Each structure stands twice: as C-alpha cells, then as structure tokens.
Chains A and B, each alone.
Chain A
Amino acid sequence: MTAALALRAPQLMTTPPLLTMTGVSRRYSDVVALDDVSAMVYPGEVLGIVGESGSGKSTLLRMMNLEDTPDAGDYRLALPGLPGNLFELDRFARRMLCATRIGIVYQNPHLGLLMKNSSSGNVAERLLIAGERSFAALRGRAREALNASEFPLERMDARPIELSGGMQQRVQLAKAIALEPALLLLDEPTTGLDVSVQALVLDTLKRLQRDRAITMVIVSHDLGVIRTMADRVMVMRRGRVVEQGLADQIFQDPQHDYTQQLVHAKL
C-alpha cells in the first residue's frame, strides 16, 4: 500500500519533483546492488534512505551523484538547461553538473576532501571549477560557506588532516554548499562522530535546510538521524525499495515485515 501511495500522482502539489529516478538497476558481477529502484524528491524536501549494510542505499546515492552508470534506468533533475536522462551525459558534463549543482558529504572525509590542502582551499576548489578566478572572491566565498557550516573561521587555513572528525564533516559540508547546490546528498554524514558532535552537525544541516530550503537526500543506518532529518523515508533491502512513506508513518506504522524489524530493533 505504501509503495502505491508514494508513486501516486499528487493532487495538490503543483511543483514538479526536483529529482526523478525511474527503474534504476545495477549489478556488480553476480551481486544485484540496485533492482528497479525509483525515487522522487520534491524541492525543499528531505528524503531519508534507510536499510542495513549492503541494501543498496549508498549505491543509490552515488547514482544520484552520477559516480556510476546503471545497467538500466533514467535520472532527471528539473533544472534549467539539463537535457533528458542524466545517465547519458559524458564524463565532462557529469563533472560540471556535480561540481555546480549537486553537493555531497561522504561518511569518509577522505573521499570528499584533499586532506593535505587547506580547508579553505578545499572549498575554493569547487568555486574554481565553476569559473571563479579572483583570489579575493574565492577566499570570501569559501569563508562564507565555512561560516554557514559553522566551521570556526580562525581554523580555515588548517588542513583537514589536522582537524577532528566533526570539523572535517563541516569542511565537506562547506564545500558541498559553496555553490548553493540544488541538491545536497549526505552519505552517513554523522556516522563515527560522537553523540554531541553528531547533534551539532545535524543542527547545522537542519538550519541550512530551513534557511536555504536545500533539497536533501540523506542515507543513514541510524534511524535516529533519519527521524530527526527526513520528511519522507525510503526503506531499502537487497537493492529494492520495500517501503516508503512519510517519516512519522514509517516509524509509527511500518507496513513491511522488514521495516517493522528495523523500527522495533531501534525503539
């Protein structure tokens, strides 16, 4: 029933979805990572994706970041100047799109940052790709993005390798939002951080979401994080979406056997 509700055409919502993914499948040799996955995310919405390790949730997020091409499927972002299926874009066009319109924060900061460059330099790199050349503007905008991510500015020239995990995530976040992306992807952004740092990072994300209405997709195996952040939730298992719905419905009245197991294990 919930899958049907999620895919049902809206009657009141007149804004089209920002992100539409249809029938995405991906196999890695004999492992099915994604099996006919479809998803929609509306502007300003936060979609949470939950599931155990190996459920395909991070693979799906990386598809959204065009890091891989599926065996089948269609991916569209309702943004000006973007033609049809984004999976058909060449490598250069993908890189430009991801650098300018999509931001991502990885669980592992090593994937998102050059650890031996300065933090401000990491953020400025994004701006350089987008064509910013003035040193003063680069530094000013990097500073602004770091500040919005609540990074202590007196440390903006420190290298990520010298920073704590929570600070590294803030640098990743600053880099991800520097160009005011239409879509922010978060892959286990607080996993491995201690509880108080986790709360600060989530608070920053919430604030960004509220003040800038950034559309977000957040992947986490931590149901508490998803509950705090998400408007809607997709539950994945073995590469398939087993259930999706409003976050409170998924947590209070889960329908699928697997979702019930997940929720009961947490609460």
Chain B
Amino acid sequence: MIPVLQVENLAKHFQMHHLGQRLHAFDGINFTLHAGEFLLLRGPNGVGKSTLLRTLYRSYLPRAGHMWYHTTEGRIDLAVAADVDIALLRRREIGFVTQFLIARPRVAAEDIVAEPLRRAGIPAAEATEEARRWLAEFGVKRDLWRAYPTTFSGGEQQKVNLARALILPQRLLLLDEPTASLDAGARAALIRRLADLKAAGVAMIGVFHHPGDVAGLIDREIELTAQEVPEDVAV
C-alpha cells in the first residue's frame, strides 16, 4: 500500500538572529503514515509536538530531512517543495486544525466556515447551507451565524474554526489540540467527525492535551522527548 506521508530524519531548529543562537526543536523524526491512520504525538510541554505539526504543514521550514507526500501524480518532498505547490496542497488535500481562529474583521461566522467550499468552486448558496449545517453540528447558536466571530468567546471561536477546518474532506489532517477548551457537546461532535473522516481514509496526525478524548481513533504514537531521537511505537 502506498503511504500518504513518509517522514525521514526530519529536523528543525530556529535561528534567532537577535540572540545570535539556535533554538533546537527536534531531530531525527521518522515515521510512515497510510490512508485512514491516526498518529498521536506525545510528550511533555515544549518538546516540539506543535512545532512538528507546523513543520509538516510548512508553516515552519525544516532544517534537514524529507517529508515525502504521495499524490496521484507522484511523490513530492514537502520539505523543499515550491511554495505554490504547498499552497495548492493546502487548498485540496492537507488541512491544519488548531484551537485558534484567525477571525477577519467584519466577516460573518457562516462566511468564514463556507470559505473553503467557495474556494473549491461550490456556489455561494450551497456553501452557506453546508456551513450552517456544520455550525449547528458543533453547537454554535443560530443567532451567531451571521455575527462576526472577532467578539465571540474563545470556545465559540474555536467551534467556528473547527467547522471551517473540517468542512472540506482532506487526505491529511494535522490536528493541534483541537479539543482544548471545547464543551462536551462540541467535543463529541468533533470526535464523530474525525471518526467519519478516518473511516473515509483521511490520514491524521494529532497533538491532544487529553489523548483519552480520541483514544478510540489512535493507531500509533510517537513519543517526543527532549534532545533524544524519538521512537515510533505501535499501539
């Protein structure tokens, strides 16, 4: 079976010019992920779990190693792929789910959620209808759908963000503590959606403050430890 993602000897550090020093994040990360697999990243705070996710999404540039992503048109190394290719994959295949919403001024919640569908060419009315369905699923009150999320509470913003991030099925989902600060109803909705996506073949890599939330979904784990080469452990 062809994997979705093969990570080889991935390393990241941050060059801090104003301090004249390098900040080590991680070294020697290796793993392979297939369709429908769920990989949990474990480890104490500050060990580089979120940094690894952001590196895989190419918000951070890796220092060394490869991130081979397999597409229908062959494999591409995300570590060195052209920016436009990364942008293309993010629109079509690779999603990043975080607990933080980047709300734009004066854009209604339902429009924020519908945007990935609009970008994929789905007509406005249909996209809005689907967006409302997901806002309802995550428990955002109907009164808020036309409101601007900049003034929402953290929890409500997060629900909008999750609806947006998960509305369009992807091939690879990177999950950065998506359950943090969610109420029970929204957490259940999120886990249902992740289970459906996994069953549909979406590969996922996640960081969870309470991994018990997604215990039923986890196939494998990687334990990140400070300054050590992490091991890939089968569950």
Contacts and interface: CB of A to CB of B under 8 A. Distances in A.
Contact of B81 (A11, A42, A202, A252): A11
A108 interface: no
A253 B59 contact: yes
Contacts of A228: 104
A221 interface: no
Contacts of A232: 83-84, 87
A9 B61 contact: no
A249 interface: yes
A6 B106 CA distance: 32
B86 to A, nearest CB: 6
A203 B89 CA distance: 25
A206 B16 contact: no
B76 A11 contact: yes
Interface in B156-212: none
Contacts of B34: none
A210 B18 CA distance: 38
Contact of B18 (A13, A248, A253, A260): A260
Contacts of B105: 199, 202-203
Nearest to B75: A11
Interface string A222-233: 000000100110
Interface string B2-24: 00000000000011111000000
A257 B58 contact: no
B17 A260 contact: yes
B88 A13 contact: yes
Contacts of A253: 14, 54, 59-61
Given A202-B105, A203-B105, A252 B83 contact: no
A212 to B, nearest CB: 12
Contact of B119 (A13, A203, A210, A264): A210
Given A12-B73, A203-B104, A249 B89 contact: no
B59 A252 contact: yes
Interface in B91-111: 104-107
B85 interface: yes
> Which of A12, A199, A228, A261 is packed against the most chain B CB atoms within 10 Å?
A12
Contact of B82 (A1, A5, A206, A260): A5
Interface residues of B, number: 31
Contacts of B58: 246, 249
> Which of A1, A6, A42, A249 is packed against the most chain B CB atoms within 10 Å?
A249
B80 interface: yes
A245 interface: yes
Nearest to B124: A211
A250 to B, nearest CB: 10
B40 to A, nearest CB: 23
Give chain A's interface residue range (CB within 8 Å of chain B).
20 to 34
A38 interface: no
Interface string A206-245: 1000100000000000000000100110000000000011
Contacts of A266: none
A2 interface: yes
B115 interface: yes
B115 A5 contact: no
A9 B20 CA distance: 33
Contact of A8 (B18, B71, B82, B115): B82
A249 B84 contact: no
Interface string A178-210: 000000000000000000000110110010001
A69 interface: no
A255 interface: yes
B18 A246 contact: no
A10 B87 CA distance: 11
Contact of A252 (B18, B60, B107): B60
Given A232-B87, A246-B86, A5 B80 contact: yes
Interface of A: 1-2, 5-6, 8-13, 42, 45, 199-200, 202-203, 206, 210, 228, 231-232, 244-246, 248-249, 252-253, 255-257, 260-261, 264
Given A9-B82, A11-B74, A249-B58, 4 more contacts: A8-B80, A8-B81, A45-B87, A206-B107
Interface of B: 14-18, 54, 58-61, 71, 73-74, 76, 80-89, 104-107, 115, 118-119
- Closest A-B pairs by Cβ, 7 of them: A199-B105, A257-B17, A253-B60, A10-B82, A8-B82, A12-B85, A248-B59
